[in-house]
């Protein structure tokens, strides 16, 4: 285990953790407003396929990112209509949204499988330019990676330091009380879902445009569900989500390193390492009541007549 | 009631808006190039073609997308090549065909449309096809890369280990860190055979170089492939190659990191590495499939277990990348000639595995039918074979 391989794990974790963190931040906002979005996988896929399609057609990855963000917001609006206006069950609606996303993204992405795009430019992390080439190549990141930590801080500031964030949290804790204090729970939930969806779209954009640089059907392969788990892992807090995403993707990178280090452990077993780690954290933190879930998470707000 | 109707209507509208947002994208997509045949005798454009019944209807099933620049595209190109040589055939194909039940209904549907020759190219389409071959004795089934045989069921495939050996020679010459990365699906027999052939090629020119393997546990999880490629590069590997369905992600990720890559499955992978491409091998089974179809047409088809290599035209090597020096190119081509002439046999003993156990004794050769049972890796490969 050399310094290079440890830095390598960190670099891999940052690369693959970025889309996961954007997605987790989006879900944190949704759940803070009291809505569980189990359809995250579908939202990610639709955003990724439309963002990739536009990047390919326009040749401009930034336009693709923009479309991806908008698609994420729009997908969440479908969920919003179902669970806010139609007062449908959140879990059922989320799952329906997910399956809808599977089909729609396959349809949108079909003509673009195997196409090549111009990806985002990568910039060397300031301060590492003087290091040997082997090291600098570890710290060449695209703009979305540089933006992900500020995004987490922004989400924290929005939720904890603004009137809007207070409203979101109030609605998530107890929508009736929020209504009594003069807020509009429906409107706030729609806003939170749109904002959350846009962040999920940003995560999808990083996955397809900057990371894999291609589109394949069902390319998220469960990352939407990992993001849902990471929200619980991070106790619904945007800053703890940074640690959550880094730990999870770090574990993935670490098990890949172990595999190719000649460790004679079954790769099938190593592949479960990140999930075992998630389980361990849930067990260790599970009983802590201090940072528990928003009070009315998953509950339908019936409105006050 | 009225309210509910309105609700339903709004969902539909919402969906349409979302769909139409992507509408322009879908309509102005590039045309997928499908090889079409120009008739040898020029037909005046005004003449209405008289519909003649096709001499043979062929059905083909693919497990993934035919534009993956990988395995599925290679299989599709081979099937479409039949049409280029035998103009009277009609081809029905389906991509993204799932395993088991999905494959059965797809093939049944093709048979009901008149298909009498089925190419089941998905690895997991073997048993659905075998079951159907028993209920449809008048239909001929050809599966890619399997092992089962029957009265009207046979297997065909390319023979990749020779190509992997040659790629190993190229990689062994190109690496300066003596660390070569290999992204594979999982430690199953054929992946291990490819890894072994590759490392034997590496060692033949560079005994110090080692091949580091990581498994993604999937044929097409592109994000995991990118992670695995980055992990290998971060460890110091300066040549990367792969055995998953599509080479795009691995080759493209290596290129974005300025690291050499070697492709597999389809020669089209090169376009994803304009700078750091070394070479690659791919399936070019068009000629053999055309021959199989012609034997079906003239009624001489018999079930044969068909395996064919580079000298038969079933596998091909991609052009070298621009950074590969002439002496490396010459060496690889010289080895290629030796392999094709039969003077160089890749799995000639003694071959010793990672633990030092002799797997192929001196003077013996690992035969093709024993390759399906390989569960060991040669010395020089770093990674687990189980």
Q: What are B142-164's pLDDT values in tens digits?
A: 999 888 899 999 999 998 999 99
Segment B66-77 mean pLDDT: 92
Contact A16 B252 (CB under 8 A): no
Q: Are residues B231 and B351 in the same domain?
A: yes
In total, chain A counts a number of residues equal to 305
Q: Are residues B150 and B277 in the same domain?
A: no
Q: Are residues B121 and B154 in the same domain?
A: yes
Among A4-13, A154-163, A283-292, B185-194, which is the least confidently predicted range? A283-292
Q: Are residues B150 and B76 in the same domain?
A: yes
In chain B, what residues touch A57 (CB-CB under 8 Å)? Answer: 24-25, 28-29
Segment A252-280 mean pLDDT: 83
Q: Which two tokens stand for residue B213?
A: 């393997």
Residue partners of A204: CB distance under 8 A and separation at least 6: A19, A23, A43, A44, A45, A47, A48, A51, A68, A71, A72, A220
Q: Assess whether pLDDT exceeds 70 at residue B2.
A: no
Contact B11 A81 (CB under 8 A): yes
- B179 phi/psi in degrees, rounded to 5: -125, 120
* Number of domains into which chain B is organized: 2
Q: How far is A91 from chain B (nearest CA, A)?
A: 18
CA–CA dist B106, B93 (Å, integer): 9
In chain A, what residues touch B17 (CB-CB under 8 Å)? Answer: 74
Q: How confident is the model at residue A128 (pLDDT cuts 50, 70, 90)?
A: confident
- Nearest CA to B237 among B256, B261, B221, B219? B261
- Nearest CA to B177 among B215, B254, B233? B233
The model's pTM is 0.84
Q: How far is B174 from chain A (nearest CA, A)?
A: 17
Which one is predicted more confidently, B296 or A294? B296
Contact A8 B226 (CB under 8 A): no
Q: Assess whether pLDDT exceeds 60 at residue B42.
A: no
pLDDT of residue B145: 86
Q: Are residues B218 and B328 in the same domain?
A: yes
Q: How confident is the model at residue A1 (pLDDT cuts 50, 70, 90)?
A: low
Q: Which two tokens stand for residue B211?
A: 């091949």
Average pLDDT for chain B: 87
Select from B158, B193, B215 the last residue of a domain. B158
CA–CA dist B144, B155 (Å, integer): 6
Angle, nearest 10°, between helix axes A3-32 and B222-234?
150
Which one is predicted more confidently, B370 or B47? B370
Question: For a pLDDT cut of 70, what percent of chain B falls above it?
Answer: 87
Does a structural domain hold residue B148?
A: yes
- The reply to whether A15 touches chain B by the CB within 8 Å rule is yes
Q: What is the pLDDT of residues A215-240, one digit of tens each?
A: 998 999 889 999 998 998 888 999 99
Q: Are residues B137 and B194 in the same domain?
A: no
Q: How confident is the model at residue B4 (pLDDT cuts 50, 70, 90)?
A: low
Among A79-83, B49-53, B236-240, which is the least confidently predicted range? B49-53
Question: For a pLDDT cut of 90, what percent of chain B falls above it?
Answer: 71
CA dihedral A201, A204, A205, A209 (to 10 degrees): -160
Mutation for testing the A interface, residue in B22, B26, B386 having most A CBs under 10 Å: B22
Contact A267 B231 (CB under 8 A): no
Angle at CA of residue A13, ends A10 and A18, nearest 5°: 130
- The reply to whether A271 touches chain B by the CB within 8 Å rule is yes
> Which CATH class for the A3-113+137-285 domain?
mainly alpha
Q: How far is B385 from chain A (nearest CA, A)?
A: 8
Which one is predicted more confidently, A21 or B47? A21
Q: Assess whether pLDDT exceeds 90 at residue A296.
A: no
B211: nearest CA partner in chain A: A260
Select from B158, B173, B204 the last residue of a domain. B158
In chain A, what residues touch B248 (CB-CB under 8 Å)? Answer: 114, 214
Contact A11 B232 (CB under 8 A): no
> Please, are residues B180 and B237 in contact by the beta-carbon 8 Å criterion?
yes
Q: Are residues B123 and B247 in the same domain?
A: no
B380: nearest CA partner in chain A: A262
pLDDT of residue B339: 92
Give the residue carrying structure tokens 């013996």: B364
Domains of chain A, residue spans: 3-113+137-285
Q: Are residues B197 and B337 in the same domain?
A: yes
Residues paired with residue B93 on neighbouring β-strands, in sequence order? B60
A17: nearest CA partner in chain B: B227
Q: Are residues B236 and B268 in the same domain?
A: yes
Q: What is the pLDDT of residues A136-171, one digit of tens each?
A: 878 889 999 999 999 999 999 999 999 999 999 999
Q: Out of A114, A211, A253, whose CB is closest to B231?
A: A253
Which one is predicted more confidently, A235 or B83? B83
Does a structural domain hold residue B199?
A: yes
Q: Assess whether pLDDT exceeds 80 at residue B125.
A: yes
Does a structural domain hold residue B7?
A: no
Q: How confident is the model at residue A97 (pLDDT cuts 50, 70, 90)?
A: very high
Select from B130, B158, B186 the last residue of a domain. B158
Q: Are residues B197 and B278 in the same domain?
A: yes
pLDDT of residue A274: 81
Q: Assess whether pLDDT exceeds 50 at residue B234.
A: yes
Q: Out of A108, A217, A259, whose CB is closest to B65?
A: A217
Q: How far is A53 from chain B (nearest CA, A)?
A: 7
B119: domain CATH number? 3.40.50.2300
Strands B305-308 and B315-317: unpaired
pLDDT of residue B150: 93
Q: Assess whether pLDDT exceeds 80 at residue B15.
A: no
Contact B22 A7 (CB under 8 A): no
Q: What is the pLDDT of residues B311-365, one digit of tens each?
A: 889 999 999 999 999 999 999 999 999 999 989 999 998 999 999 999 999 989 9
Q: Are residues B126 and B186 in the same domain?
A: no
**What residues make up the domain containing B96?**
56-158
In chain A, what residues touch B22 (CB-CB under 8 Å)? Answer: 50, 53, 71, 108
Q: Out of A78, A86, A114, whose CB is closest to B7?
A: A86
> Please, are residues B254 and B225 in contact by the beta-carbon 8 Å criterion?
no
- The reply to whether A248 touches chain B by the CB within 8 Å rule is no
Q: Which two tokens stand for residue B93?
A: 């194909």
Does a structural domain hold residue B18?
A: no
Q: Assess whether pLDDT exceeds 50 at residue A105.
A: yes
Hey, which bits of B185-238 come out as E strands? 210-215
């Amino acid at each position: 285990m050399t310094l290079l391989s440890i830095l390598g794990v960190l670099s891999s974790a940052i690369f693959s953790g970025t889309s996961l963190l954007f997605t987790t931040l989006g879900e944190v906002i949704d759940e803070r407003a009291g809505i569980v979005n189990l359809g995250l996988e579908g939202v990610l896929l639709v955003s990724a396929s439309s963002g990739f399609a536009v990047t390919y057609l326009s040749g401009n990855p930034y336009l693709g990112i923009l479309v991806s963000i908008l698609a994420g917001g729009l997908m969440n609006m479908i969920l919003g209509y179902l669970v806010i206006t139609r007062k449908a069950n959140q879990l059922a609606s989320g799952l329906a949204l997910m399956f809808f996303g599977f089909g729609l993204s396959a349809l949108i992405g079909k003509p673009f499988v195997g196409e090549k795009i111009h990806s985002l430019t990568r910039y060397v992390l300031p301060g590492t330019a003087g290091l040997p080439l082997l090291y600098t190549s570890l710290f060449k990141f695209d703009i979305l990676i540089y933006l992900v930590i500020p995004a987490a801080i922004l989400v924290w500031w929005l939720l904890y330091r603004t009137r809007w964030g207070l409203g979101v949290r109030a609605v998530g804790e107890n929508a009736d009380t929020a209504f009594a204090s003069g807020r509009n729970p429906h409107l706030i939930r729609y806003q939170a879902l749109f904002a959350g969806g846009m962040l999920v779209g940003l995560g999808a954009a990083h996955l397809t445009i900057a990371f894999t640089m291609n589109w394949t059907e069902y390319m998220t392969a469960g990352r939407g569900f990992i993001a849902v788990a990471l929200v619980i892992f991070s106790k619904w807090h945007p800053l703890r989500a940074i640690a959550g995403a880094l730990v999870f993707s770090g574990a993935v990178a670490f098990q890949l390193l172990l595999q190719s280090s000649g460790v004679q452990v079954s790769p099938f077993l190593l592949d479960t390492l990140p999930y075992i780690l998630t389980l361990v954290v849930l067990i260790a933190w599970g009983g802590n009541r201090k940072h528990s879930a928003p009070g009315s998470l998953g509950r339908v707000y019936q409105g006050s007549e | 009631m009225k309210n509910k109707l309105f609700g339903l209507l709004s969902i539909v509208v919402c969906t349409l808006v979302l769909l139409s947002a992507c509408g322009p994208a879908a309509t102005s997509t590039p045309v997928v190039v499908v090889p079409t045949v120009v008739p040898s005798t020029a037909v005046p454009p005004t003449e209405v073609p008289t519909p003649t019944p096709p001499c043979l209807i062929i059905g083909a099933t693919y497990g993934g997308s035919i534009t993956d620049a990988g395995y599925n595209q290679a299989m599709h190109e081979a099937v479409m090549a039949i049409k280029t040589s035998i103009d009277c055939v009609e081809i029905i194909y389906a991509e993204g065909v799932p395993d088991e039940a999905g494959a059965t209904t797809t093939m049944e549907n093709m048979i009901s449309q008149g298909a009498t020759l089925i190419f089941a190219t998905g690895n997991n389409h073997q048993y659905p096809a075998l079951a159907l071959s028993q209920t449809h004795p008048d239909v001929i089934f050809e599966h890619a890369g399997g092992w089962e045989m029957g009265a009207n069921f046979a297997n065909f495939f390319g023979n990749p280990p020779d190509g992997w050996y040659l790629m190993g020679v190229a990689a062994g010459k190109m690496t300066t860190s003596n660390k070569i990365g290999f992204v594979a699906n999982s430690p199953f027999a054929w992946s291990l055979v490819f890894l072994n052939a590759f490392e034997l090629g590496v060692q033949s020119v560079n005994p110090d170089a080692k091949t580091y393997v990581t498994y993604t546990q999937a044929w097409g999880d592109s994000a995991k492939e990118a992670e695995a490629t980055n992990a290998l590069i971060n460890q110091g590997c300066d040549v990367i190659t792969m055995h998953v369905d599509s080479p795009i992600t691995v080759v493209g990720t290596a290129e974005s990191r300025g690291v050499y890559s070697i492709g597999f499955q389809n020669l089209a992978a090169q376009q994803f590495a304009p700078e750091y491409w070394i070479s690659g091998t791919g399936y070019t089974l068009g000629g053999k499939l055309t021959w199989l179809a012609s034997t079906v047409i003239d009624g001489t088809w018999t079930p044969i277990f068909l395996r064919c290599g580079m000298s038969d035209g079933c596998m091909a090597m991609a052009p070298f990348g621009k950074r590969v020096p002439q002496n490396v190119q010459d060496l690889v081509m010289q080895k290629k000639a030796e392999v094709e002439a039969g003077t160089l046999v890749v799995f000639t003993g003694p071959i010793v595995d990672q633990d030092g156990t002799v797997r192929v004794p001196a003077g013996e050769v690992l035969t093709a039918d024993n390759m399906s049972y390989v569960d060991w890796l040669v010395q020089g490969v770093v990674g687990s074979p189980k």
